[in-house]
Amino acid sequence: MSERGTPGAKGAGDPSKATSTGPTPEEAALAFEAAGVKTTPALTESDLRALDRDLDARVFGAMESISIRYLLLVGFLGSVVAFGAFAFGWQIYKGIGVTGLNRPVFWGFYIASFVFWIGISHAGTLVSAILRVLKVEWRMPLTRAAEAMTLFALMIGGLFPIIHLGRNWRFYWMIPVPNERGLWPNFRSALMWDLLAILTYITASSLFLLLPLIPDLATARDRTRGLRRRIYGLLSFGWRGTQQQWHRLHVAMRVFTIVVIPIAVSVHTIVSWDFGMTLVEGWRSTVFGPYFVIGAIYSGMAALITVLVLVRRSLKLDDYVTLRHFDRLGKVLLAVSVIWFYMFWAGFLTDWYGGSTVAKLIQHEHVAGHSAVLFWTMMVVNVLVPFLFLWFRRVRTSMPAMLVISLLVNVGMWIERFLIVTSPRINSLSYDWGSYTPQWPEIAIATATFAAFALLYVLFSKALPLISLWEVKEGWRVDRWRREGLVEAETDVPPLATGTTAATGATGSAVRGGAS
Amino acid sequence: MVVDLDVCTGCQACAVACLAENNVGIVGEEMAAMGRAQHWIRIERYWDEGVYPEARAQFVPVMCQQCDKAPCEPVCPVFASVHSEDGLNSQVYNRCIGTRYCAHNCPYKARVFNFFAPQFPSPLEQQLNPDVTVRSVGIMEKCTFCVQRIRRVRERARVEDRPIADGEIMPACVQTCPPGALVFGDAADPDSQVSRLMASRRGFRLLEAFNTEPSVVYLKREGGLDV
């Protein structure tokens, strides 16, 4: 694109760096990373405008066109989801017995999928909130994709406990509202904590997605006409990009970012307590809280990498989601992988050394018994593969390698949940041992949720910008002001009514987005 | 309740009586092989070490232990598993939504689940007990100590204005047991037969380490009667 090639030479910059091509958006987006290293020249106002136009054109261009391939994809994913819905209907019609569940394996595929999806949902919170709090600036192009992932994964994960019920049509009996039964739910039950935690998390993550969407929705509103314009207009809550609105958005985001982290941690801790707080050997554990949280972050990071590889390729966002992002995400994944293994080993060794007969029998089943294939697959893909390969930059910046590794990690994490959930097949009374083989409705429904996740993402990519436009734009400007000494090096929030350049710059990005 | 393992022959008459008394559905061979047998009381068979004629089978009847500190109760989100005022651990079928959390948390695996709507192949449908609810699909059930019989005796005693006699309440399994291995009564009454049996040095409770305080006391097998 020709707009990209605006001359980058400017008074403060080094004239020798000025070329006819100037900074590409990729270089520019990454320029702020190198703050303090004055090798690339600061961007001029016209550079910034050109970059803005290019970003808007790409993101909205991808949203506005619908290809045959896109429709085929939606149709395919939709039919997988429809088949899953049929399987669920079949299960309701015939009874939960169409699953492979039995005594003593009362929980199976559904609960494993539940834990898995709640784990995936942690990607958004980690990448978005934790990186926001730490003011890691390379997060900016990734936040939207991650926050959307959180919400979609939660919507899907939250369905599983309902699908799993013996009487699904009575699920609302768990909701604490006055009712004709005159009965309040039992707040001593970890399942109630679960329900409340997930509802809280869904609320928080919806808001966490919606808040930073508002300026971009306003941009979308001003670029569209007719019904779409009305819908975007409603959703953007009358955003005009005034100084006060920006101030409020920044304050709200700062509060929310901090609030959402403990919510995310508590949600997965509570999910782990469904198991950890029971009397069931193989489940009862004190390490399960942090172990599940790190497992959630692990699978969430991996899922985020998978989604980013695919989104980057299909929406041609190579300049915004760059190889350097994958390099860093790969490092984080490696670190989380090691922590996960540490937590796993802390629990495993305790059971082994502690010598409870049943716990040791379960371990023996995993290491050398019926579940050995699953167990060792998990060990290889969750521990060995990341540890062997992610040390190398060439692997971390290779799209096929990152796609394969991130998918493998999620296969491993799914197996991990499955092994934990089905371990009660070995229990204290050996007469009652059992086995578990999932049946077609369980497999169909679990598969359908993957399709549903992809479908939500695919639809989202046409309805809303998958890149947080204003944050990327702001990043460019913050970088510029920082070099010009207008803002502190640490801040990622533009100052209010200080330097005039800063003020007009901050409002400028949104107003211009709206006016063009 | 007291279960004397020295007396139990493993004949399974208790299991049949329970099925008849409590309208327990028949799941069939295939489902039973999957581990979905609905028995509220089952005879667990364990072998001594060694090979058959030398090695002897041990029979342990296991039913809901009616724990004082029942682990199934706190985990139920809808109060379907609750303690009654007379110390029973009761399951309120109408409240159950089928999370199956209680069944996991029961160390005795005493709880059984209606994976399908219960079946009563003809002519079994003609002998359903009118005092007991027929359960629906998707809910948990388990031994009640034949709560309908307890209530009936208690009401009769109240009408006749007299205390309940020792041994007057008889769950179906106790009534049926041919050698009399099962004894039911008031453990709070020091003179009752169960109280005397419970005091035996052979007495133990199942999986005591879980600290669930079961109401069922087993008498260890020693090869001879010893009270």
Mean per-residue pLDDT, B20-27 = 93
Polymer length in residues for chain B: 227
Mean per-residue pLDDT, A397-415 = 95
Taking an 8 Å cut-off on Cβ atoms, the answer to whether B78 and A185 are in contact is yes
Using CB atoms and an 8 Å cut-off, which of residues 130-169 of chain A contact chain B? 161, 164-168
Q: What sections of A390-439 are H helices per DSSP?
A: 393-396, 399-421
Polymer length in residues for chain A: 516
pLDDT at A515: 34
Residue B61: which CATH number? 3.30.70.20
pLDDT band at A38 (very low <50, low <70, confident <90, very high): very low
Contacts of A358 in chain B (CB under 8 A): none
pLDDT at A124: 76
To the nearest whole Å, the CA of B206 is away from the closest chain A CA by: 10
Query: Does B59 reach chain A within 8 Å, measured CB to CB?
Result: no
pLDDT at A52: 84
| A-chain residue closest to B71, CA distance | A279
Residue B44 has pLDDT above 90, yes or no: yes
**φ, ψ of residue A180 in degrees (nearest 5):** -70, -15
pLDDT tens for each residue of B58-74 = 899 999 999 999 999 99
pLDDT at A492: 47
Contacts of A161 in chain B (CB under 8 A): 99
Taking an 8 Å cut-off on Cβ atoms, the answer to whether B97 and A94 are in contact is no
Taking an 8 Å cut-off on Cβ atoms, the answer to whether B97 and A101 are in contact is no
In the numeric block, which tokens belong to residue A185?
């739910």
pLDDT at B176: 96
**φ, ψ of residue A338 in degrees (nearest 5):** -65, -40
- Residue B179 belongs to a domain: yes
What percentage of chain A has pLDDT greater than the value 90? Answer: 51
pLDDT at A25: 52
Residue B52 has pLDDT above 70, yes or no: yes
AA identity, residue B130? P
- Domain coordinates of chain A in residue numbers? 71-456
| A-chain residue closest to B115, CA distance | A97
Q: Pick the residue with more confidence: A422 or A491?
A: A422
Name the percent of chain A in helix, strand, coil, to the closest 5: 75, 0, 25
Using CB atoms and an 8 Å cut-off, which of residues 184-213 of chain A contact chain B? 184-186, 188-192, 195
Taking an 8 Å cut-off on Cβ atoms, the answer to whether A165 and B138 are in contact is yes
Q: How many CA atoms lie within 13 A of A286 on its CB side?
A: 2
Question: How many structural domains does chain B have?
Answer: 1
pLDDT at B90: 93
pLDDT tens for each residue of A275-313 = 999 999 889 999 999 999 999 999 999 998 998 898 888
Lowest mean pLDDT among A352-366, A488-502, B71-85: A488-502
pLDDT band at B114 (very low <50, low <70, confident <90, very high): very high
Q: How far apart are CA B57 and CA B46, in angstroms?
A: 6
Q: What is the sign, positive or negative, of the torsion defined by CA atoms of B141, B143, B149, B155? A: negative
pLDDT tens for each residue of A174-229 = 999 998 888 899 999 999 999 999 999 999 999 988 988 999 988 888 888 888 88
- Residue B227 belongs to a domain: no
pLDDT at A488: 59
Mean per-residue pLDDT, B90-110 = 94
- Residue B23 belongs to a domain: yes
Output the average pLDDT for chain B: 92
pLDDT band at A495 (very low <50, low <70, confident <90, very high): very low
Mean per-residue pLDDT, A136-153 = 84
Q: How large is the ipTM?
A: 0.91
Residue A12 has pLDDT above 60, yes or no: no
Residue A155 has pLDDT above 60, yes or no: yes
Facing B77 at nearest CB: one of A191, A280, A435: A191
Using CB atoms and an 8 Å cut-off, which of residues 141-200 of chain B contact chain A? none
Residue A453 has pLDDT above 90, yes or no: yes
pLDDT at A129: 83
The DSSP call for residue A44 is P
Q: How far apart are CA A371 and CA A376, in angstroms?
A: 9
Superfamily of domain A71-456: Formate dehydrogenase/DMSO reductase domain (1.20.1630.10)
pLDDT band at A502 (very low <50, low <70, confident <90, very high): very low
Output the average pLDDT for chain A: 83
Q: How far apart are CA B150 and CA B154, in angstroms?
A: 6
pLDDT tens for each residue of A62-74 = 787 788 999 999 9
Q: What is the pTM of this model?
A: 0.87
The 10 Å CB-count burial string (b at 16+, else e) for A123-162 is: bbbbbbbbbbeeeebbbbbbbbbbbbbbbbbbbbbbbbbb
pLDDT tens for each residue of A236-277 = 888 888 889 989 998 998 888 888 889 999 999 999 999 999
Q: Which structural domain, as residue segments, surrounds residue B210?
A: 2-219
- Residue B224 belongs to a domain: no
pLDDT tens for each residue of A358-373 = 999 999 999 999 999 9
pLDDT tens for each residue of B156-206 = 999 999 999 999 999 999 999 999 999 999 999 999 999 999 999 999 999
pLDDT at A30: 56
Residue B82 has pLDDT above 60, yes or no: yes
- Residue B77 belongs to a domain: yes
Cis peptide, bond prior to residue A441, ω within 30 of zero: no
Give the 3-state secondary structure of residue B205.
Answer: coil
Q: How far apart are CA A44 and CA A30, in angstroms?
A: 16
pLDDT tens for each residue of A326-366 = 998 899 999 999 999 999 999 999 989 987 889 999 999 99
